[in-house]
Chain A
């Protein structure tokens, strides 16, 4: 129904007065949806705020075990992707389909790079054992009995074994940081928030990449152009929100602690 015909003429949907009318309506809808996204993350931010004030040391020590360099690289990756996304919208509006498609590909690549970096961060934590809740226990037999206190945590077991440490790329400096973390009661709380917040954000990154791929196909097929670019702009706004959420997550988790 909404497409650009070969002559470049755009037909708006039957229940709208004009293309501008349809565009304004779609844009309002997209903004309302983005409000709900921000509110959903808002719940997590409120939780973070509360527990940070309850257990400041846990959050400080926990944040020191995160690799801020990886986080910073990821921030830059997302900022670049936001720029290329904005550029893509601009090129589509001007009818420069080829360069717009290139920009969209770069954006998708950035999303991929972000997830790859995240993969390295996550897998390191899985090795060390700084994972949330019940998986942070030593051996499964401990977890089954539910007697956490009687068991040594996986980390402290790991810290006793230098050979294991080397295999998992843990430096002496990190060992001291990890020791500081597990010396605190309720240290799992920080990783609970870390994984829920970054996990939910990661899901949004993947969803955003898929959406960008969808408008990329539309761009290649000339379904969007100067007369009709609502999907590109809508997906772009979504992508900026995904970026924006990370802009808050990065300092809160990696830097402030």
Chain B
């Protein structure tokens, strides 16, 4: 960004946000958005390892290598539930916004901090509290409902552990709302002089759209989860057919949140990709406005598509057709982004550093995920694919292949800014190769399994599904290994990484105009912005 006055006084680079205060207490009570971002990083990474443990358990069981099944059906259901609940509510939803977003959003805007620093810290602790409440269900009363808590099973049949898990999700939703609220106000009110709304980086547009979804959708989840709690403790009957309630109403409520939540996961990922593509192509982004507005468009349309989860729930044909049409419409803004990224790379000076590899991996995997989404959006085909491994493969391609690829790319991209050190590029690339290969080996066979008719969530399967399941399991180890290499690379970078310059990638957005790591208040002098965010050449 060609901003006029963003001098970084190199004499003072020894003083930065990392050593601004010392001791664990200065971290626990910090109001600095950068530190809070890193605290989210540590938390989410830990939770990711736990969720990944359950995933490997599920896959290992389904490979059926031994004569005896690894898990009994009950334990299998619990593994599946905790894998889903942890990964969705505690890893992918907060992953990019709360961690990367918290770190870069104020710096990219040229602000000293988010609008409400104390609220920011509070939302971190609310998140921790929610995670602990949810995790306590593992100790006291395990849950076997799947992360979707479908009624009437969750309300009338299964154990009371559901109450703990939904209460935890409710609490984490509160944290999500507070973070979103903070980002919206920060974007509106704390932009540096000259930083007009059509000059904010695309990462900010993505986070801003995400925040709108967080604010508008999460309250519906809150009331839905409260109703499950009320149903379990008081038996209010709103979802209980015995008392006149309607279990399908739960699905409407749940997906009215949870479909937009899919975009809470993927929109920030798209923001990261926009940053990576332009930085590693050394070229101004193609179609800035189109990418920016398509984020808002996705946010808006996301609220109108929940019914595609319910094509087989007995909703009317007309509703099915409408939801099918609107769902396919999501493809338009998504494709706008993808084509603009490709146009950005065209005739750019593309370098394939680890972050760029993750960005390309994102584009590849998300395209597969998105196109199979069109299959599932078609009412007729969905009847066949519904609740099969085709769906499992589809949403893993979107959520893992999309969000986690972007998250890894974002970590390697902003790592020099976070810690003032470089990660080993080789480590990053090895990690990418393993994750990317492993991912396709794991989930591509699941498309085939789903098309063959293997239902999702089942403990056992017919003999003809064995080979593909075993291939899938081998792939899951590759993914696990890839993330392990990634983790080692990151830890190695923190401990032994080479010292990073202020702008190692030659990127243009504001965060690269300050020192690495940035000082406590981000900039020594508030920058003045005079041009668009990606003015290469």
A144 within 8 A of B: no
B104 within 8 A of A: no
Most buried by B among A21, A24, A40: A40
Question: Contacting B215 at CB < 8 Å: which of A15, A36, A132, A200?
Answer: A36
| Residues 210-239 of chain B, each 1 if its beta carbon lies under 8 Å from chain A, else 0 | 000001101110111011001100111110
Most buried by A among B113, B243, B521: B243
Residue of B nearest to A25 (CB): B189
B7 within 8 A of A: no
A186-B234 CB under 8 A given contacts A28-B185, A32-B181, A43-B253: no
A185 within 8 A of B: yes
- In the complex, the answer to whether B112 meets A14 with C-beta atoms within 8 Å is yes
- In the complex, the answer to whether B177 meets A36 with C-beta atoms within 8 Å is yes
B526 CB → nearest A CB, Å: 9
Question: Contacting B238 at CB < 8 Å: which of A24, A51, A199?
Answer: A51
Tell me the B90-139 residues at the A interface (CB within 8 Å).
111-113, 115-117, 119
A195-B185 CB under 8 A given contacts A15-B113, A43-B220, A43-B223: no
B97 CB → nearest A CB, Å: 15
A179 within 8 A of B: no
- In the complex, the answer to whether A186 meets B244 with C-beta atoms within 8 Å is yes
Residue of B nearest to A24 (CB): B189
A8 within 8 A of B: no
- In the complex, the answer to whether B237 meets A132 with C-beta atoms within 8 Å is yes
Determine the distance from Cα of A195 to Cα of B182 in the docked complex, in whole angstroms. Answer: 33
- In the complex, the answer to whether B243 meets A189 with C-beta atoms within 8 Å is yes
CB neighbours of A32 from chain B (8 A): 181, 184-185, 215
A120 within 8 A of B: no
A133 CB → nearest B CB, Å: 3
Residue of B nearest to A43 (CB): B223
CB neighbours of A36 from chain B (8 A): 177, 181, 215-216, 218-219
CB neighbours of A174 from chain B (8 A): none
CB neighbours of A25 from chain B (8 A): 115-116, 185, 188-190
A198 CB → nearest B CB, Å: 12
A212 CB → nearest B CB, Å: 20
A15 CB → nearest B CB, Å: 4
Determine the distance from Cα of A16 to Cα of B106 in the docked complex, in whole angstroms. Answer: 13
Determine the distance from Cα of A200 to Cα of B181 in the docked complex, in whole angstroms. Answer: 22
CB neighbours of A131 from chain B (8 A): 234
B504 CB → nearest A CB, Å: 27
Most buried by A among B113, B115, B227, B240: B115
Tell me the A16-46 residues at the B interface (CB within 8 Å).
16, 21, 24-26, 28-29, 32-33, 35-37, 39-44
CB neighbours of A220 from chain B (8 A): none
- In the complex, the answer to whether B215 meets A193 with C-beta atoms within 8 Å is no
A50 within 8 A of B: yes
B415 CB → nearest A CB, Å: 25
A135 within 8 A of B: yes
- In the complex, the answer to whether A132 meets B185 with C-beta atoms within 8 Å is no
Determine the distance from Cα of A16 to Cα of B236 in the docked complex, in whole angstroms. Answer: 47
Determine the distance from Cα of A188 to Cα of B238 in the docked complex, in whole angstroms. Answer: 9
CB neighbours of A29 from chain B (8 A): 115-116, 119, 181-182, 185
CB neighbours of B188 from chain A (8 A): 25, 28
- In the complex, the answer to whether A21 meets B189 with C-beta atoms within 8 Å is yes
Residue of B nearest to A45 (CB): B223
Tell me the B231-277 residues at the A interface (CB within 8 Å).
231, 234-238, 240, 242-246, 249, 253
Main secondary structure of the interface of A (DSSP, over half): helix
CB neighbours of A162 from chain B (8 A): none
Determine the distance from Cα of A31 to Cα of B521 in the docked complex, in whole angstroms. Answer: 27
A56 within 8 A of B: no
- In the complex, the answer to whether A39 meets B219 with C-beta atoms within 8 Å is yes
- Give how many B residues have a beta carbon under 8 Å from the other chain's beta carbons: 41
- In the complex, the answer to whether A39 meets B216 with C-beta atoms within 8 Å is yes
Tell me the B182-208 residues at the A interface (CB within 8 Å).
182, 184-185, 188-190
- In the complex, the answer to whether A200 meets B226 with C-beta atoms within 8 Å is yes
A134 within 8 A of B: yes
- In the complex, the answer to whether A195 meets B223 with C-beta atoms within 8 Å is no
- In the complex, the answer to whether B238 meets A196 with C-beta atoms within 8 Å is yes
| Residues 61-88 of chain A, each 1 if its beta carbon lies under 8 Å from chain B, else 0 | 0000000000000000000000000000
CB neighbours of B231 from chain A (8 A): 133
A203 CB → nearest B CB, Å: 10
Residue of B nearest to A55 (CB): B244
CB neighbours of B222 from chain A (8 A): 40
A148 within 8 A of B: yes
CB neighbours of A185 from chain B (8 A): 244
A39-B189 CB under 8 A given contacts A29-B115, A32-B215, A51-B244: no
Determine the distance from Cα of A133 to Cα of B188 in the docked complex, in whole angstroms. Answer: 46
- In the complex, the answer to whether A133 meets B240 with C-beta atoms within 8 Å is yes
A133-B116 CB under 8 A given contacts A24-B189, A47-B249, A186-B244: no
Question: Contacting B237 at CB < 8 Å: which of A21, A35, A42, A189?
Answer: A189
Question: Contacting A43 at CB < 8 Å: which of B113, B189, B215, B219?
Answer: B219
A192 within 8 A of B: yes
- In the complex, the answer to whether B244 meets A133 with C-beta atoms within 8 Å is no
CB neighbours of B112 from chain A (8 A): 14-15
A125 CB → nearest B CB, Å: 13
| Residues 193-221 of chain A, each 1 if its beta carbon lies under 8 Å from chain B, else 0 | 10110011000000000000000000000
A199 CB → nearest B CB, Å: 8
- In the complex, the answer to whether A15 meets B219 with C-beta atoms within 8 Å is no
Determine the distance from Cα of A33 to Cα of B182 in the docked complex, in whole angstroms. Answer: 10
Residue of B nearest to A36 (CB): B219
CB neighbours of B237 from chain A (8 A): 132-133, 186, 188-189, 192
- In the complex, the answer to whether A39 meets B220 with C-beta atoms within 8 Å is yes
Residue of A nearest to B119 (CB): A29
CB neighbours of A21 from chain B (8 A): 189
CB neighbours of A133 from chain B (8 A): 231, 234-237, 240, 243
Determine the distance from Cα of A213 to Cα of B425 in the docked complex, in whole angstroms. Answer: 56
- In the complex, the answer to whether A132 meets B236 with C-beta atoms within 8 Å is yes
Residue of A nearest to B526 (CB): A17
Determine the distance from Cα of A37 to Cα of B220 in the docked complex, in whole angstroms. Answer: 10
What are 18 A-B residue pairs whose CB atoms fall within 8 Å in the complex? A14-B112, A15-B115, A26-B116, A28-B188, A33-B177, A36-B215, A40-B223, A44-B223, A47-B249, A51-B245, A132-B235, A133-B243, A186-B244, A188-B237, A188-B244, A189-B237, A189-B244, A196-B226
Sorted nearest first, the 5 A-B pairs with minimum C-beta distance are: A133-B235, A186-B244, A192-B236, A134-B235, A43-B223
Residues of A within 8 A of B (CB): 13-16, 21, 24-26, 28-29, 32-33, 35-37, 39-44, 47, 50-51, 54-55, 58, 131-135, 148, 185-186, 188-189, 192-193, 195-196, 199-200
- Contacts A13-B117, A195-B236 aside, 19 further interface pairs with beta carbons under 8 A come to A15-B115, A25-B188, A28-B185, A29-B119, A29-B185, A32-B181, A36-B215, A40-B220, A40-B223, A47-B227, A47-B238, A47-B249, A50-B246, A51-B238, A133-B235, A134-B234, A135-B234, A193-B236, A193-B238
